[in-house]
Structure 1
Amino acid sequence: MTARPKALQLSLQPTQAVDGSVAVFLYPFKSELMRRKEDNILWALFKGPDDVTTRTIDRAIADAARYWRVSSALDGGSRPDRLRVDYLVLRAQLREAIARRSWIGKLVKIGVSLVPVISFLSAIATLAGTSVPQLWSRMHPSADAVMPVIAGWYTFCPQDGTGASPKLLDLLYDIRQNAGKVAFFDVQVDVACVMGTAFDPAAAVSRKAEERSLTYSFGPGQAGQNDTDGERPPMKPGQLVAENGAFVTVLDDRDVRNALTRLGINAEGVDAELYGPYLIKADGEDATLTLTLSAPTLDSTMQDAATAIAAQRRAAHENDPPPNGVPQPIKLSAAGLQRLQALAISPAASTASGVRPPTALPPLDDGSLGRLPPLPTPLPAPHLLPCPVSRQAHNDLTEPLTSDDQQAAGSRSAQTVRT
C-alpha cells in the first residue's frame, strides 16, 4: 500500500548568522504531488536579535499563513494573498541582487526609491475605482490569468456509435494536470446505457448522480497505456489513478457564484454536461486521489477571460458535425421548393418519378344503388326555449294600447292589405 503523501517543511524559520545578523525564512507547503518553483522566501534580514520586535513577529506569522494558503493545492488562497506572496518573492529576489553588490543592485536601489511614488499612484487609482495591479494585469495578463480549457465528448456507451470517445481517463488526465487552477470546462458525457445502474468504485469507471453533485470513480489498476489519447504525455504507474482509486466530484453552483458555471445531471435523460469555469482542488489522502470541482468567484480579469472563452466555444460548436442517428432539417432553395410542389400536384411528374397516380373508381349503376341501405331518418329539430323578456318589454306587451296606438296600427294594416 502506498504511503500517504507527506507535507514537507511548511514552517517559519528564523536563523542567526555568525556575525549576529538574523534572517527569517518562510517555507511553503510541499508534497509529492505539488510544489512551488522557489524553495523558500527570505522574508527579512536584521542586524541583530534586538531588531526583531513583537510587531515584526506578528507580521511574519501573517505572511507565513498567506504563503501556506497559496502553496496549498486544496486552498490556493485569495487574490490578495497571491499578490502579497508575489510581492514577497520579488522582494527576496531584490535583496539577493543587492547583496551581490553588482550594478543590478544599484538599479534595484533606484527602483526601491520609486516605491512611494507608485504607492501614491495606487491610492489615486483606488479612489478612481481601480488599482495599479489591475491595470497592469489588463495590459499584461499573467500566467495565472490565462484560464485553461478542458473540452471533450465522452461516452459510457461506445456501442451506440455516437462518435464520442470512450477514453474517460483523458478527462481524468486533463483535470489532474490542472489541479489547483480555475479551468473552463466544455465537457459532455453520454450515460444512456448506465442509467439506473449501481455505483461501483471497484469498476474501471463508474458514476453516481445525486441531486446537486456528480461523482466519477476510476478503479485502481484499471488504467492502461491505451486508455488515454496518444497526444497526452504518459504518466508513471499510479500517478494518474492512485492505489485506492481516483474520484472526480463535481458540485453544483447552488450559491450562484458566477453566471457561466452550469452542471447538467442527466440532461435530457442521456447526458451529463459540465460547462463554465470550475476551481479544481486535489486531495491525496489514504492513497486515494480526490479531485473536487466547484464554482469559483471570479474577479474582473477572470470574468473577462471566461466570457471570451465562452464566446469561442459557442463559435466552435456552430461548426460541429451533426450527431449520428439524429434527423436533420432539409434546406431547400426557392427553386427546389417549387419543383417539389409541381411534383406533388402533377400526375405526369408522379408517373415519371415512379409513383403511379391514383385510379378513379367507376360510378355505381341503378341496381347497385337500390341495394344500398336507406339513409337514416333525420332527427327532429330541437325544441326552442322561449327567450327571456325583460320586465320593461313585458310591461310594453301587456299594457293596453292607447287610441293613438290603435289608429297607427290600423293604418299600417290597411297599407299592408293594399300592398
Structure 2
Amino acid sequence: MKAAYRNLLGGRDGAVGLAVLAALLFAVIPALLDPFRLNLMGKYLSYAFVAVGLVLCWGYGGILSLGQGIFFGIGGYCMAMFLKLEASDPVSTKIQTTPGIPDFMDWNQITELPLFWQPFHSFSFTLLAVLALPTLFALVIGLAMFKRRVGDVYFSIVTQAIASILTILIIGQQGLTGGVNGITDLKTLHGWDIRSDHAKLMLYFINAGLLIGCILFGRYVLGSKLGRLLMAMRDKEERVRFSGYDVASFKIFVFCVAAAFSAIGGAMFTLQVGFMSPSFVGIVPSIEMVIFAAVGGRMSLLGAVYGTVIVNLGKSYFSETFPELWLFLMGGLFIAVVMYFPNGLAGLYDSHGKRLLGLLRRGRGKSAIKVPGMEASK
C-alpha cells in the first residue's frame, strides 16, 4: 500500500500537489469562469496532455521531440472524421451534388466516401483509432530512429521534418482532408449538441478527468523501475546499454506513451473547439508545446499543466491587448524563463516555495508553543 501511494501519488508532497490541481480543475475554475472562458480553459488543458507526455519523453527520457503536433493532429483528425460523418447525413447534405458525404468532398467533386473514411462511422472504432494510430506511427518512427541509435538533435530535426511533411500532405489532399481549412462545422456526438453550454461543461470535466488519469499513469511509470532506467539513460545512456538493457526499447515505449497522451489531447481539442486543421500539426505548434513543458518544468508532470495554462493565458492576453507585439512578448517570456528559471515553475517552487512553506510551518509551531505558556501565566 505504501509503495503504491509513493509510486502513484508521489508521496505526501505529490498527493498534496495533485489534490490542489484537482481542486482547481474540478471546483475553483468551473465556479469562477463563464461558459465561454471555461471552454477556452478546456482548450488549454487539451494542450496539457502533450506537455505531460513531453515531461516523460524529454524531461526523464532525454528525447526532445519537436513533432508532437503530429500525434495531437492525428488524434484530433480521427475524432473530427467521426463528427463530420455524423454531421453529413443525407438529410443535412441534401443540397449537395452527392448527399451523405462531407461538404468539402462534394466541393472537390468527389462522389463517393473514400474507403479509409468508412470505419469512422463507428464511435468505438474512432476511440480505438485515436489511441492506436498515433501510437503505431510513433512506434514506426521509434523503430526507425532508436534502433539505429539516432538521438539528440538529429532526432529533433527528423521529427520536425515529419511534422512538416504531414502538414503539406494534409493541405495537398484537400478533397480528402479538408485542406488548409481542416475539418469544420462539427455539431453533434451521437445526437448530443457539443456546441451547447451544458455540453461544453461536461466536456471540460471529461477533459480534466482524463488529464488527471494521464498524470497518474505518468507517475506510475516514473515510480517504477522503468522510471529509474529512463533517468539513467538520460544521464548515462552508454552505461545503461553496457549493463545489458535494451535502451532502444525503453525509448520507443516512452515515446509511444507521449504520442498516446498527445492524441488524447487532440481528440478532446476537437470535441471542445469544434474543428481540426493542419495548423495544429506543423512545426510551430510542436515547438510551442515544448515551450509549455519548459515553462512548467520539464521534470514535473504537474508543472507541465500549470505551464501550459499560464503560457496560453499570456498568449491570449498579449494577443488581445498588444496584437502587433504579442509574438515578441511571448518570446521574451520564454527567454526569461529559460535564463532565470531553467527548471521552470516547478524548479521555482522547489527552490523558493518549499522554503517559504517551511518558514510558515516553523512560525506556526513557535506560536503554538507560546500560547500554552501565556495561558498558564494567566
Q: Normalized against structure 1, the TM-score is what?
A: 0.22
Task: Give the number of the structure whose alpha-carbon radius of gyration is greater.
Answer: 1
Q: Tell me: higher relative CO, structure 1 or 2? Use CA pairs within 8 A at least 6 residues apart.
A: 2
Structure with the higher helix share, 1 or 2: 2
Structure with the higher strand share, 1 or 2: 1
